[in-house]
Amino acid sequence: MTCDLFRRMEPRRHDRIPERSAVLAFIASEAGCDLPTAQRTFHYLRNKGHVVFLTRGRIWQGAEHVPFESEDDRRMRIAGEMADLKRQVRESLAKVKHLQGVLGQVVEQHNALAKIVHDLRG
């Protein structure tokens, strides 16, 4: 049996009762087997890491599943990522500007102390 099909399986719910499990129904349908065989196959796939459990939705999916993303969804995701990056750049620039001011104060204090030391020696 090839595991590639199951490694890309879309998210599906699993139930302890085999007849209510969408995962087992999918495996049985794709492999052309009965539910007990599908259940053994599921345990094999799970133990080998071919399918993974997502706690967020309490569902199982193939380890290499890539969700479908429409062009509009992709544009929205990229726009959101760009907005986040722009915000991070603005925050970083504000920190740099603040640190430049602090550095300027340190240089002024250093120069003042150097003048005092020079005057005392002198």
Question: Where are the chain's structural domains?
Answer: 4-62, 69-122
Q: What is the pLDDT of residues 69-88, one digit of tens each?
A: 677 777 877 888 888 889 99
* Average pLDDT over the chain, rounded to an integer: 87
Contact 30, 86 (CB under 8 A): no
Cα gap 19→57, rounded to integer Å: 20
Contact 24, 18 (CB under 8 A): yes
* Predicted pLDDT at 75: 82
Per-residue exposure over 110-121, b if at least 16 CB sit within 10 Å of its own CB, e if not: eeeeeeeeeeee
Average pLDDT on 50-54 reads 82
77 vs 69: CA distance, rounded Å = 10
pLDDT confidence of residue 57:
67
